[in-house]
A and B are shown apart, each in its own frame.
Chain A
Amino acid sequence: MIAYVVRRIAQSILVLVGISVIVFAALHLTTDPAAAMLRGGTPTKADILALRRHLGLDQPLPVQFAIFIADAVRGNFGTSYYYNNPAFSLVMDHLPATLELTVAGMAVSLLIAFPLGILSAVRRNSWLDFFGRIFALLGISFPNFWLGIMLILIFAVRLNWVPPSGYGGIQYLILPAVTLGMILAGISTRLIRSSVLDVLAADYVRTARAKGLPSLQVITRHVVRNALLPVVTYIGLQFGTLLGGAVIVEQVFSWPGVGQLALGAVNQGDFPLVQASVLVLATILILVNLLVDLSYVFIDPRIRY
């Protein structure tokens, strides 16, 4: 097991290097940040070249990449061209907001999906199942920005229960978390339901029932654990979707997260900030995936590493 973890970490480092190469290439081959920075004035080509020199962009690409990697391993992702502050600390400053939103969204989605999914499967074809399925289907049929705006119109403008957007206290977190979580609640409900149904059909469940175990015990002791595997997989995937998809929710709700930071950085051609955002987010996702994979061992003892 330890060997597995070590191997995974080594592989993860390779993954991160791979990502940084791709991002580096994509940025340097498509955008000229100097031109973007000077837009608004009357830049001559000479002015732009001069700025490129100051930013270190005139050196050959492999040299630039080497410098970037050498700095990055020491935690230095360079200075943001626009904020003129270290890119890494900018990202870390915004990370709590994104994590707050992601975790809250996941909590909302699981709080809805787990009970609904399990009950839906267990009480198959009842009212509850029907509502659960309609809810799940509706949840994945709405674009999240539309849902977000709808929620603002209803709960903030019409009912005045919460402020429309912003960051600071829990009243600002409710609508964005629900928006983020609602879509995933839909997906999760369906997956939990189908996974539980699969398990319910299994022989050992019939055996348990035949033995006379009450339904609740059947569910908790046998069904849930076995149904968990694809669900845990999906939770791991969800985190990635949440993290990336939060960009849109952040925009609708003026939420100062890394997604907004990164989006702005890509649009402006702020290379250090783009690289810092992508790599920080990637590291988090890799860690989550690693945890998900490790948790397989506890859920399904037949799986060995």
Chain B
Amino acid sequence: MRFLRRWKTQILLFFSVVGPGFITANVDNDAGGIWTYSFAGAQFGHALLWTMIPITVALIVVQEMCARMGAVTGKGLSDLIREEYGLRITFLMMLGILICNFGNVVAEFAGIAGSMELFGVSKYTSVPICAVIVWLIVVKGQYKTVEKVFLAASFFYITYIVAGVLAKPAWLDALTATVTLPRLAVFKQHSYLYMVIGLVGTTIAPWMQFYLQSSVVEKGVTRRQYKASQLDVVVGCIFTDVVAWFIIVACAATLYVHGHRDIRDATDAAQALRPLAGDYAYILFSLGLFNASLFAASILPLSTAYTVCEGLGFESGVGMKFSEAPAFYWLYTVLIVAGGAVILVPGLPLVKISVLSQVVNGGVLPFVLIFMLLLINNKELMEEHVNTRSFNFIAWATTVVMIVLTALLVWNSLRGGSS
């Protein structure tokens, strides 16, 4: 009895701490993320593991900035951009976010289609049904309840850690690869560069910054309680990237080692879990992917609709009726319907599209970062809570690196890309 009671308190304690940071981190490992990490491991083995540490540091810095801005100003990121930089810049920004997020919504539906295909459910059935489910969850105001289910189910990620261990990877090699910087020459390889941008784009996705800041504001975190939020963010970021590291290692130890380097569909990717589940690997993989996709598919269109409507001054909120906030609901509906419709095009390379959407994320990220940096260093807005020098250095470095990498990629593609 006593044990049970203690166990119960522990769980309660955990859920009271689980906040915006942890939820954001979990949504971060969405379908696009799983595909991209799997692809990176299968195609390049351990060669991309070095990106994990810099990405984690950048992720923590960027997410912490969002949480801080939310707590200090009590406003969302798009609100702040609008108030400080005017309508035109906000409009362009929102347009970019809309396109970029649409790609992400497509990736989530690709995840739904891919995972259900493993069970023999055709995408022409699974995608429309899930689109309706997602739409209803939000419009009927049930999101908060469903969120808890998603969150609990996302503990599936632990299976990757277990699978990674059981696959007996070359630990020493993996760890060395994590701390060794690559030679500059590798960046000349088009597919490698593409993957690096994709990895950054999927981990530090632009939409997450808007989502996190709004969640912090909605939770009513104030300057005083903000320390707890900081911890929430840091723990969430580290959790995300540990999972990402293990996905890459698991895929490297199974797919890459066996020469299975091109992931074309979910069946290929599921092989990474074979060491854990043997022939049942596909069940584990598809359930996990399905949960991650559905979770992100319910958050992303909603978050996008909020971001855009707030920035442009349209009525928004799930508490309103369709007629009171038409722009909000239309945007939300169109994102889901169009996102699902894209997937229904026959013969579409689902995995390739998912990874592409994450590369686009990587290309849009620096623009979001520039605005975040300008805002957070604004003394009138943030008072004594402006960035420290080291935070500025890391965030600006991330911005510059991403601009350079994206420019390189574009340059490479224009020259005909030697991969």
A binds B: no
Q: Which residues of B contact A (CB under 8 A)?
A: none
